[in-house]
Chain A
Amino acid sequence: MKASQKRSAKLRIGALGVITAAAVALSGCAAGAPQNDSGKKTLNAIFLPADWGKVVQEKLAPEYEKETGVKVNVELVGRDAIHEKMATLFAGQDSSYDIFNVDYNWIPEFGKGGHLVPLDNALQDKEDFLPLSLKVATWDNKLLGIPQTVHPATLWYNGALYGDQTMKDQYQAETGNALGVPKTMDEWLTQVKFFNGKTFNGQKLSGWAAQAAKGFGNVHTWLSFAYSFGCKPFNADFTKSILTTPECIGATERWSEMMMYMPAGANDFTYDSVTTAAQQGSIATAIQWSWGQFATDNPSASKTIGDWQMTTIPTGPTGLSSAHLAEWVISVSKYSKNTEEATKFAVWLESKKNDVLQASNGGGDPVRVSSYSDPTLTEQKLEGNGAARFRRLPVTLEAMKTAQPRPFFPGEETWETALSTELSAISLGQRGVQDGLSRANEAIDKNLSQ
């Protein structure tokens, strides 16, 4: 090949490389472009692939486009991946995405970094929102997310089992008490022991089930015990872990004792494992997030349609009932080039009408007080069953009065990791309660000092 031909070939390859690189770069940048090909304004959003994300993707975003002409691309991304994407995009001040579905415990983390747009002025009717739902969307006196769904932990009990006369008689004979919905942790423990190993409707029962896998699972379940026993994991300004107080030790001992009455493999139980066990009717009670009741009423997957009832978490020794709070909010990226449009969409998503519409479509429990008495929800019945489809709502509302969030500070995810490892060791009998909690204290304090 002649030298000139070689040069020409090199040039062509070089040009191709430049064009390819430019195309890749442009396709990346296009995600943040304010207008799409048809001239419509476009927003890019990331939501959780839970029912509330799907409702936004399939129903609400298309409706918003019809109403306003603004197109909203909704990507459904797993919880961990949302957290990772947010941090990496924010670090690069990337404008590709305008809206994020945010687990509220990330609000302090991203709020401290100044990555989220304050939405105080955008939300005109704050008084209709559940006060706690707004509190955990606020950091440094700025509202950094609009609540989309709440689902506090609740105590689930199989109503059919609790209403069974044979079971009632046996319980009376064995314990001397009448079988009723448990109000205290002690009463619940007695019932769990009683039900464990019994057979009902051909299913061998376990006393209860809850998320217990290492990770956020065991921490979230433990928190409902901790709060109801009056345990505070931190000092007031989150500078010291105080997990070895008598309250925390008492809560952990009870949680650990209760683990003996969970199904085989419970140490690996996730939210889905608990749901499956409830659907199969193989557990008597459970600690599970409120909105999960939908799954047990699903005719294609459940043998217990209409059976599962709810009550608030039983009270601990101090007479306190306090659930761990789960909630997702909608936040706007500070680096979005369309913050105004994105804010409008977030506010529209949680209008009164849409709060009810989302709940009605399985999108989590409402965040507005008024939705809890909306006939669209309160009067809905399960098809062919007659049970109220939203029978959980009064319990959710009650639980929201005393529910408590995860430790609300920027290092919460790291805190969960350190604590969950020790809780895993305690529940597997690898460590005693005091030893495990002391080790957790050490690990958490070490993280805090970093």
Chain B
Amino acid sequence: MSPGLLFLAAISLYPTLYSLVVSFMRWNLSSGEAARFAGLDNFVGLLTDGLFWNSVRVTLVFVFFSVLIELVLTFGLALLFFRGFPGDKLLRALIMMPMLCAPVVVGLLARFSLEPTYGIVNQLMRSIGLPTTEFLGNVDLALPTLIAIDVWQWSPFLFLILLAAMQGLPEEVIEASKIDGASWPRIIWHQFLPLLRYPILVGVLLRLIDSFRVYDIVYMTTRGGPVDATSTMSWQIYDVGFRAFNISYAAAFSWLLLLLVLLAVNSLIRRMVARS
């Protein structure tokens, strides 16, 4: 085995397999007791745990809406930018900025900005006569607010991919469609979308995988609350693993998250391939 493969196995494969082994054990990190075999107990426990199913629901809602909004938004933005206009470079740089911030910083910024009494967002809202809103403390608003934060931070990523892909489209195809009298909506629907299928697929897949893992923003803003409105799977894994130190339960949880991501990604790829 080459040194590179050995290194990869040491830092990636071994921990992954070890976590699978741990998921079949009963092991609390702080108890001082040795881990012991527990069979499928952790998985059975999870599948009958209301908190687990709540976190699955919250995660799926978060992933679906954040990726969908990001895709629609950035497709529109890319269409706006791909032909260029005066000042587009500066605007493009500004659009990129949120992506350059660490998610922890974005979370902290959001927490301060959205604070009901002193936060700038509520101050601005009050100045135009709107009522004070608890964006992060309201059960119905907390998850949409986190989705909005994610869209703000990660739309630039999809924008970058779609813009690059659009700028690489063969100009003659667009020109030919125009000569044939096709309107812009028809060109977008019949030319752009089919030609951009694979860049869109790659971008969406990457965002999908990333969104499933959302943790930093939750940690910095809501800590899974209010009640358990923003308790995503990653947050629950952290809570179980690093507050309760139930490492084996957290490992089983992680494997179920991995399974969910694989299912989602696989189903998306199959659909795209079937259509093509």
Contacts and interface: CB of A to CB of B under 8 A. Distances in A.
Interface of A: 10, 13-14, 17, 80, 83-84, 86-88, 90-91, 109-110, 112-115, 213-215, 263-268, 273, 276-277, 282, 410-411, 413-414, 417, 420-421, 424-425, 428, 430, 447, 450
A213 B223 contact: yes
Contacts of B72: none
A3 B115 CA distance: 66
A413 B244 contact: yes
18 contacts: A86-B30, A87-B245, A90-B30, A113-B31, A113-B33, A214-B227, A265-B116, A265-B132, A267-B137, A268-B116, A268-B222, A268-B226, A282-B117, A421-B227, A424-B225, A428-B226, A447-B244, A450-B45
Q: Nearest 8 A-B pairs (CB), nearest first? A: A113-B32, A265-B116, A214-B225, A268-B137, A267-B137, A264-B116, A414-B244, A425-B227
A80 B40 CA distance: 30
B117 A14 contact: no
B30 A110 contact: yes
B3 A14 contact: yes
A73 B211 CA distance: 39
Interface string B240-262: 00111110000000000000000
B117 A268 contact: no
Nearest to B32: A113
B132 A87 contact: no
With a 10 A CB-CB cut-off, give which of A84, A109, A268 has the most chain B CB atoms. Answer: A268
Contacts of A425: 227
Contacts of B223: 213-215
A411 B32 CA distance: 14
Given A214-B224, A215-B225, A112 B7 contact: no
Contact of B226 (A13, A88, A90, A267): A267
B244 A417 contact: yes
B29 A88 contact: yes
B239 interface: yes
A276 B118 contact: yes
Interface in B202-230: 222-228
Given A113-B32, A265-B117, A268-B136, A417 B239 contact: yes
B32 A265 contact: no
A410 B33 CA distance: 13
Contacts of B139: 428, 430
Given A87-B30, A414-B243, A421 B3 contact: no
B249 to A, nearest CB: 8
B116 A417 contact: no
A264 to B, nearest CB: 4
Interface string B11-49: 000000000000000000111110000000000010000
A80 B30 CA distance: 14
B242 A80 contact: yes
Contacts of A282: 117
Interface of B: 3, 7, 29-33, 45, 115-118, 132, 134, 136-139, 222-228, 239, 242-246
A349 to B, nearest CB: 25
A450 B46 CA distance: 12
A83 B134 contact: no
Contacts of B242: 80, 83-84, 87
Nearest to B50: A443
Contact of A115 (B32, B137, B228): B32
Nearest to B142: A268
Given A10-B3, A265-B115, A276-B118, 18 more contacts: A17-B7, A80-B243, A87-B245, A109-B30, A112-B31, A115-B32, A214-B224, A214-B226, A263-B117, A265-B116, A265-B137, A267-B226, A268-B116, A268-B134, A411-B244, A413-B243, A428-B139, A447-B244
With a 10 A CB-CB cut-off, give which of B7, B31, B33, B226 has the most chain A CB atoms. Answer: B226
A113 B117 contact: no
A80 B224 CA distance: 15
B151 to A, nearest CB: 21
Nearest to B245: A87
B142 to A, nearest CB: 9
A319 B70 CA distance: 58
Contacts of A10: 3
B32 A264 contact: no
A83 B243 contact: yes
A25 B30 CA distance: 24
A444 to B, nearest CB: 12
A325 to B, nearest CB: 20
A203 to B, nearest CB: 11
B129 to A, nearest CB: 16
Given A214-B223, A265-B137, A421 B116 contact: no
A430 B227 CA distance: 9
A332 to B, nearest CB: 16
Nearest to A214: B225
A87 B29 contact: yes
A282 B243 CA distance: 34
Contacts of B137: 265-268
Nearest to B26: A450
A367 B267 CA distance: 61
Given A268-B226, A414-B244, A428-B226, A113 B3 contact: no
Contacts of A263: 116-117
Contacts of B116: 263-265, 268
